[in-house]
Structure 1
Amino acid sequence: MATVTTQDLADHLGTCETPWLEFKSTAKREGKRGDAVGKAVCAMANDLAGHGGGDILVGVDDRGEPVDGVDTSDRALLALTDLRDDGRLLDRPSFTVQAAVYRGKPVVRIRVEASATPPVRFEGVVWVRPGPTTRRATRDDERVLAERRRSTDSPFDTQPLPASTLDDLDLQLFRSSYLPSVVDPDVIEENGRPLAQQLASLHLARSAEHPVPTALGLLVVGFDPSNFVPGAYVQFVRYQGTDLDAPIADDQELRQNIVDTAARLEPVLRGHLRTRLVESGLREQARPEYPFEALREVCMNALMHRNYETSYAPTRIAWFDDRVEVTNPGGPYGQVRSDNFDRVNDYRNPSLAAAMKSLGYVNRFGRGIGRIRAALQRNGNPPPEFQVDASSWSVTLRTAP
């Protein structure tokens, strides 16, 4: 049953649109570029007015009058809540959705908190509310948002690393691969922002005037992130046996940025992936030992969720004859616990998660474990085994019996 607040929001929020209050008659999508609610959530999270966020009331027309027939069912509320995880809003803002009352009639209230790491983008575009309307951000708007970003309580991935300089970033990779994947092409063409402002706007550097790379910038497009974030590399070992005493067939360290690591890791994994013959009716079919989708998902999630701030240990991939073990430093974070990790998601590195979603390494937030389980089941493998403690997280994939 949907929760309905008893207070009439007209008394609390007012009856006119403002920079922190927007009315929407319906939550339906508008056009192929996205939906108005998503843009409004983005604008409220960016909080250009400095109000601390804002509210969107679905079921109220632009004159401030409630409309009839507003769907406030649990299904409708969940559909709006899904905006948090579908990957179109990056970095993911915090907001709540609930049924409410406005001028005596049912509406849906979306309460959006101001982002600690603006600017937030919806489908690659920064939206703001300089007044009672939602608009695309100007260059100056984005500069204000980037400068407003809180440093004292921001996640590690958006903090500057003073020992680094822009020379430590692969700017060609940034221009050719990362920028087009994160920012709408029309915005890039229209605005022509200076490089330093582009980097600051995307959390890859702090301050457009005196840019210093952030941990995110080095992790995503740095030449060697481990020079400044010691644990930011992958150790891959292939054992010819089933224990750590077995002979080593392959031992590699991948010390590139996320983009280059992913490009190098794929052939490494595929190179060790063998096929097996299984019976299917009257025929035999060749199946891999492990579905590549599951291997990729486990490895990318390890890179996304690991603790880069206080651990110097790498992300480890240990490949044995009967299993693959992927271990990353950093136990449960935020709302996640050892007893709910497969149902609840939270992000130690929210900007890195957004970057990996934009680059295509993450399909959708909060779905990784489900995708791993489904891929293994389709391929005939046992379910994945998780070991979660206070300081580390490991996943074991086993070959089919």
Structure 2
Amino acid sequence: MITKPQLIHILSTTESAHVERTTSTDNMDKFCQAICAFSNDVSGSGKNGYLIIGAHDNGGLSGLKVDDQLLLKISNIRTDGNILPQPVMNVEKFIFDDGDVLVAEVQPSEFPPVRYRGRIWVRVGPRKSVATEAEEKILTERRLSNIHTFDAMPCLGTTTNDLDVKLIEKEYLPKAVAEDVLTEDKRGIEEQLASLGFYDLRYNCPTNGAIVLFGRNPERYLHGSYIQYVRFKGKDRAGDIINEHKFAGNLCRVLPKIDTFIETSIAQKRPIPVSVLREETFSKYPYWATRELLMNAIMHRDYETNAPVQFYEYDDRIEIQNPGGLYGKVTPDNFPNVSDYRNPFIAEAMKVLGYVNRFSRGVYRVQKELMENGNGKAVFDFSLVTAFKVIENISEKYLEEGFGAETTQEKPKKSPRKAQEKPKKSPRKIEEEIVMIMESNPQVTRKELAKKLDRTEDSIRYYLRKLTKAGIIEHEGPTKSGKWVIKR
């Protein structure tokens, strides 16, 4: 970090490609643009950049008093996910007789181009602006020379034909790149993807990260790139398998399915009476916490292995295990206070797609939500070395008042009339079950659906018409020998 004598020297000089001074304390766009530009270091000097808050253009101090709130606001820029890839920066307060100075010291990124809300900011001398096409190309080539992670390496033998280009253009690019920048971008898809870290122009092929995120068949090249869900009866793997599902395909399509599956099938909710007039709703496993743990497993896993992410549910707990132990700077002693990224480009894409909200904060919120829901804290197992496991216990509050339907206690016998009653399901739940069955068996018939879901064929016909009209499914081929295609 910069020292006080060094800061005094910087204040006595003019602004440059590595120094920006400001008296503003609330112009977050200006701060983020400066940090983004310093991260890109378009000149290739390798020098750190300095955002100095509390100083005039001539170097004189403004009399600012730096409080904890301002320190926290500037420090949070690193992890709020608006600048991607994450900037490497330190924030320090300096006290002078004429006022305080807050300095954000920013290191050049190893993975440029860096974007702030979809725009690449650079500095040429004291000038700050959005990068030109030529400047963006320089930054892209620099990243290729600095490749260290597997997701940034070329997936040799692949072409853009192995990617779902329409999905990229419709779902990803509008979220990753600012609308006006994307409208003016007339480059081919290869160069567009290269600027985002998903195409290697040297080998003329997509990267491993692109195949994982947008590939038509990721398992063809990365054999373990799927998520395996299994519901065991009992408390270990010796029990019978009640349900299983393989979430296969590119992450851009798989993540929404996993999100829905956790919300509808895992995070089951029950009202628990807490007084005569009041009830509280508790989940078997809280939706957000479970989703966060599984998304972290997908984001941080080792994609070089043939093993999938394991998402196993037992009577009393959920276990999530991903191939690849703790990575980089992270150790059992500093987890979760220190973070590092095995797959920085996949992590960035998951943030863009909305499946990661903020970096480095998820575990704390997970533990809080689990405690409030009665699950107790998640248990992280670092002993497996080549794998990472987290255990989430079932909510004790969910099991109160006889609501725990899966406990080993003997259930009271139902009267003959009640035994014939079917549990009611919401229309949305029925539609989701239909789509999930079609994903595993595209040739499924209406009669088979009725049998699997224990409903009448007329009821199934109604839901099929509804899903078709909504554009979620489509039937291809003859009525009796065709197949269902999931459109979403």
- Tell whether the structures are fold-level matches, with TM greater than 0.5: yes
Counterpart of 2:360 in structure 1 is 366
Superposed CA deviations along residues 342-367 of structure 1, whole A, max 9, x for unmatched, are: 32222222222111111110111111
Q: Which moved more, 1:352-361 or 1:250-259?
A: 250-259
CA separation in 2, counterparts of 1:300 and 1:93?
22
Q: How does 1:67-146 map to 2 (within 5 A)?
A: 67-100=61-94, 106-146=100-140
Counterpart of 1:43 in structure 2 is 37
CA separation in 2, counterparts of 1:217 and 1:153?
15
Aligned-partner residue type, residue 17 of structure 2: P
Counterpart of 1:391 in structure 2 is 386
Equivalent residues of 1:10, 1:102 under 8 A apart:
no
Equivalent residues of 2:267, 2:286 under 8 A apart:
no
CA separation in 2, counterparts of 1:102 and 1:118?
35
CA separation in 2, counterparts of 1:73 and 1:287?
40
CA separation in 1, counterparts of 2:206 and 2:160?
6
CA separation in 2, counterparts of 1:102 and 1:142?
39
Counterpart of 1:191 in structure 2 is 185
Equivalent residues of 1:168, 1:218 under 8 A apart:
yes
1:57 matched to 2:52: yes
Counterpart of 2:261 in structure 1 is 268
Superposed CA deviations along residues 256-289 of structure 1, whole A, max 9, x for unmatched, are: 1112111222343323554444222114455331
Counterpart of 2:403 in structure 1 is none
With normalisation by structure 1, the TM-score equals 0.90
CA separation in 1, counterparts of 2:250 and 2:70?
40
Q: Which moved more, 1:239-248 or 1:252-261?
A: 252-261
Per-residue deviation, 1:12: 5.6
With normalisation by structure 2, the TM-score equals 0.75
CA separation in 1, counterparts of 2:255 and 2:381?
24
Q: How does 1:233-248 map to 2 (within 5 A)?
A: 233-248=226-241
Report the count of equivalent residues. Answer: 392
CA separation in 2, counterparts of 1:227 and 1:27?
51
Counterpart of 1:287 in structure 2 is 282
1:257 matched to 2:245: no
Identity %: 36
Equivalent residues of 1:27, 1:36 under 8 A apart:
no
1:324 matched to 2:322: no
1:300 matched to 2:295: yes
CA separation in 1, counterparts of 2:176 and 2:102?
30
Where 2:311 maps in the other structure, the secondary structure is strand
Where 2:3 maps in the other structure, the secondary structure is strand
Aligned-partner residue type, residue 247 of structure 1: D
Counterpart of 2:19 in structure 1 is 21
Where 2:72 maps in the other structure, the secondary structure is helix
Equivalent residues of 1:307, 1:329 under 8 A apart:
yes
* Structure 1 runs, 4 residues or longer, greater than 6 Å off: 101-105
CA separation in 2, counterparts of 1:46 and 1:234?
35
Equivalent residues of 1:8, 1:101 under 8 A apart:
no
Equivalent residues of 1:317, 1:324 under 8 A apart:
yes
Equivalent residues of 2:156, 2:203 under 8 A apart:
no
Equivalent residues of 2:226, 2:246 under 8 A apart:
yes
CA separation in 2, counterparts of 1:138 and 1:336?
37
Equivalent residues of 1:116, 1:150 under 8 A apart:
no
CA separation in 2, counterparts of 1:191 and 1:134?
20
Name the structure with the higher helix share: 2
Counterpart of 1:181 in structure 2 is 175
Change (3 A) 1:84 1:273: closer
Counterpart of 1:400 in structure 2 is 395
CA separation in 1, counterparts of 2:342 and 2:85?
12
Which of 345, 356, 362 is the equivalent residue of 1:351?
345
Where 1:35 maps in the other structure, the secondary structure is helix
Which of 180, 198, 202 is the equivalent residue of 2:196?
202
CA separation in 2, counterparts of 1:240 and 1:291?
21
Equivalent residues of 1:242, 1:320 under 8 A apart:
yes
Structure 2 residue runs without a partner (length 5+)? 397-488
Question: Which has the greater radius of gyration?
Answer: 2
Equivalent residues of 1:21, 1:132 under 8 A apart:
yes
Counterpart of 1:215 in structure 2 is 208
Per-residue deviation, 1:153: 4.5
Per-residue deviation, 1:73: 4.5
Per-residue deviation, 1:295: 1.5
CA separation in 2, counterparts of 1:131 and 1:193?
28
Which of 222, 225, 242 is the equivalent residue of 1:229?
222
CA separation in 2, counterparts of 1:272 and 1:319?
9
Change (3 A) 1:267 1:74: closer
Q: CA RMSD in A?
A: 2.3
Change (3 A) 1:14 1:196: farther
